[in-house]
Structure 1
Amino acid sequence: MIASLSAPALAAGLLAGFVGFASSFAVVLQGLSAMGASPEQAASGLMALSIAMGLCGIVLSLWRRMPISVAWSTPGAALLAASALPAGGFPAAVGAFLVAGALIVLAGLWRPFGRGVAAIPPPLANAMLAGVLLGLCLAPVKAVAEAPGAGLAIVLAWAVVARINRLMAVPAAVLVTVLLIGLTVDLPPGLLEAAGPAPVLVLPEFSAPAILGVALPLFLVTMASQNIPGMAVLTVNGYRPAPGPLFTVTGLFTLAAVPFGGHAVNLAAITAALCANPEAEPDPRRRWQAAVVAGVVYVVFGLLAGTATAFVGAAPPILIQAVAGLALLGAFAAALQAALAVPQAREAAVITFLVTASGLTVLGISGPFWGLLAGGAMLALHRRRG
């Protein structure tokens, strides 16, 4: 492969790996921390996810000879960041991650289950996702209010670069954030020595509230916001692999990452477009090389996860949240637009969005589950009246 690797495929793979990691690793760390992970556990989870998605992308691309890019579930991480800490702390969250991974495998293996997931009304699934993302998307505004100088510098870097190259906007904001933190924060000694975090094994605990409030919403947003769009990107670019085996393999790699703190890996959408379009390689039969290069980049970043986690842990939380919010603005806009696109389901979608975004927790079960339930009930009532 190395001898036949084209320059465009190499460049596309390097860019996809950098953008995929730099644009959302802060979201992942926020989500794991919100679930009760210690800094060591969060570093282990970030490492496990990076290596799992890198290896999964390499395996699928070599197997299918297609540019099948894999990523961690960024919407899933945002869901975790917006959810209440489950009773039982991080072990209970890890138990929920295992259930979500098992459901992804089941969706790939058992067609009726996969079809049932696909039958969930898209307006409700997107409204739930928009409600999950709202809190983090407000973080840039709060950063400007709490730390005007740093907050404005981060937002302006993102806005200016977005006018030139949309894909590089969030990495530019990350770079400015890193510079600001390096200049203004007393960083812990031995930061670089933490480059390779030690894997931390977490024994899972299983509870109904965590399964309903974390596992089911995590599974749904991962399927609706990552796996299905990821398949659409491949189709648009002329690739039509059977979806079942791809879902199954990503679910298996999820299960491999979970014991070390990872939440979910899945088919990529944005980075998939980078590797699957003609600019990555004129010959569509060779574009799989770009996805393999991206996978190698993810593995390398995974080995540096300790430094990233230690650096983020020393930074003011509002600045990290601001970068995470900027990374999710596009996903929030797309989810909100899709949620309101169908007039007949608009009222139910709004209810789903409001209940999810409210932060409601009942019986230890967080808002996304109740939002989907409330919106589904409203949609059923509307259809019955009709």
Structure 2
Amino acid sequence: MSLLRDVSLPAVTAGFVAVLVGFTSSVAIVFQAATALGATPEQISSWMWALGLGMGLCSAVPSLVLRKPVMVAWSTPGAAVLATAAAAGGFTLAQATGAFIVCALLMTLAGATGWFERVMDRIPMPIASALLAGVLARFGMDAFLAARTALALVLLMLLAYLAGRRWWPRYAVPGVLAAGTAFAAASGQLHLAGVSLSLTVPVFVSPEFTLAAAVSLALPLFVVTMASQNLPGVAAIRAAGYQMPISKIITLTGVVTLLLAPFGAFALNLSAITAAICMGREAHEDPARRYTAAVACGLIYIVIGLFGAAVTGVLTAFPRELVVAVAGLALLGSIGGGLAVALKDELHREAALITFLVTLSGVSLAGIGSAFWGVVAGALTWGVQSWRRHA
């Protein structure tokens, strides 16, 4: 079986690190959104079930079929929009569920018509690479900022990374994770008390469709998911050198969101940060075998869905500094590669640099994150420069 032949420890580790980073960095926002909508503990567990299964199936199955690393995640900015809008508008969980379905239909339409992929095709590769580097660079900085509160842990992980890159480059990231986990366990920073293994029971919520929820929840959720998540997700795919059927994958995320929305799957989308972990050289030296990292990630997400509360407890037991340090170190190669492509061509260099800086700034306007505005700024710069040359 080709999967068993292609799989490796670095690939499985990359998949686990992707889950660890993606889950622990934003699960609190998802909990906040569910709570703001009045969800019970059982319904919050159902959200984890739906999101885990959705992310897992949308990552593992296409990766196996295409033999390319397809990475799907939940919409973190979408969860933030839900938490804010729910608190302001007083929407019920049933009304929010109706909004999830409307958003899913819009996502399916965006994929089926191919308009989103056509827009992405018009973005020059240097600008797309600068966008990706800007999204990832914040994680690289956070890895070293973590030394403020956990100097010994971060220094140990940095030394493990440098030693790994020098003597066993394929196992650098597994070595970093092992060193950090061992240190955290020895110093009593792993908090596993109270973790119990039990299957999650999905809870069906009958949707209620209202115009107010469609305007205040569904449309903002759709816009931020496409602009702040799918846009850098496509950039990550192309920066890694993969050609994928983007429209079909977007359609898949829309359809799966539609099916799982009554159970709590508010929005699924292409990933950028965790995708970079599984698409980089740390996952495997051979790009043709990196799909196994995405498969491993998908299988772990499925386990999260099935054993929601227990796995959530295990993943959140890791110290925050360990998570951000392993993420930043694992992404160094992708950050460097993105910057190299972005700044290599002098013709696009200024536009790419502006894209990178605006994206890195984290600025948010009209509820839309810096990834979108970075592309807007870069495209505007490129348009003005092109017009000047051809005038």
Q: Does the pair score TM above 0.5?
A: yes
1:51 aligns to what?
Answer: 53
**Which residue, out of 4, 12, 17, partners 2:6?**
12
Residue deviations 1:146-175, cap 9 Å, x none?
A: 322111122222332334544533233223
The sequence identity of aligned pairs, in percent, is: 31
- Give the match's secondary structure for 1:139: helix
2:17 aligns to what?
Answer: 23
Distance in 2 (CA, whole Å) between partners of 1:170 and 1:53 is 23
Distance in 1 (CA, whole Å) between partners of 2:165 and 2:85 is 36
Q: What displacement does 1:350 show?
A: 1.1
- Give the match's secondary structure for 1:264: strand
2:252 aligns to what?
Answer: 249
1:336 aligns to what?
Answer: 339
1:260 aligns to what?
Answer: 265
**Equivalences for 1:130-209 in 2 at 5 Å?**
130-183=133-186, 184-185=188-189, 187=191, 189-191=193-195, 193-194=196-197, 196=199, 206=217
**Which residue, out of 317, 321, 325, partners 1:322?**
325
Q: What displacement does 1:385 show?
A: 0.8
**Equivalences for 1:352-371 in 2 at 5 Å?**
352-371=355-374
- Give the match's secondary structure for 2:334: helix
Distance in 1 (CA, whole Å) between partners of 2:313 and 2:385 is 50
**Equivalences for 1:29-68 in 2 at 5 Å?**
29-33=23-27, 35=29, 37-38=31-32, 48=50, 50-56=52-58, 59-60=61-62, 67-68=67-68
2:38 aligns to what?
Answer: none
Q: What displacement does 1:338 show?
A: 2.1
Matched residue type, 1:156: L
**Equivalences for 1:271-350 in 2 at 5 Å?**
299-300=302-303, 302-303=305-306, 306-350=309-353
**Which residue, out of 212, 217, 222, partners 2:233?**
222
1:284 aligns to what?
Answer: none
CA RMSD of aligned residues (A): 4.6
- Give the match's secondary structure for 2:117: helix
Q: What displacement does 1:218 show?
A: 0.9
Distance in 1 (CA, whole Å) between partners of 2:117 and 2:224 is 21
Contact 1:61–1:288, Cα closer than 8 Å, also in 2: yes
Matched residue type, 2:19: F
Matched residue type, 2:383: A
Q: What displacement does 1:296 show?
A: 5.0
Distance in 1 (CA, whole Å) between partners of 2:221 and 2:295 is 35
Distance in 1 (CA, whole Å) between partners of 2:230 and 2:256 is 14
Contact 2:10–2:174, Cα closer than 8 Å, also in 1: no
Q: What displacement does 1:90 show?
A: 8.4
Query: Is 1:89 the counterpart of 2:87 in the alignment?
Result: no
Distance in 2 (CA, whole Å) between partners of 1:128 and 1:338 is 11
Contact 1:209–1:363, Cα closer than 8 Å, also in 2: no
The TM-score, its normalising length taken from structure 2, stands at: 0.70
1:71 aligns to what?
Answer: 71
Count of residues in Structure 1 that have an aligned counterpart in Structure 2: 358
Runs of 5+ consecutive residues of structure 1 not aligned to the other structure:
236-240, 281-286
The TM-score, its normalising length taken from structure 1, stands at: 0.71
Q: What displacement does 1:382 show?
A: 0.7
1:238 aligns to what?
Answer: none
Q: What displacement does 1:46 show?
A: 6.4
Runs of 5+ consecutive residues of structure 2 not aligned to the other structure:
35-40, 88-95, 208-212
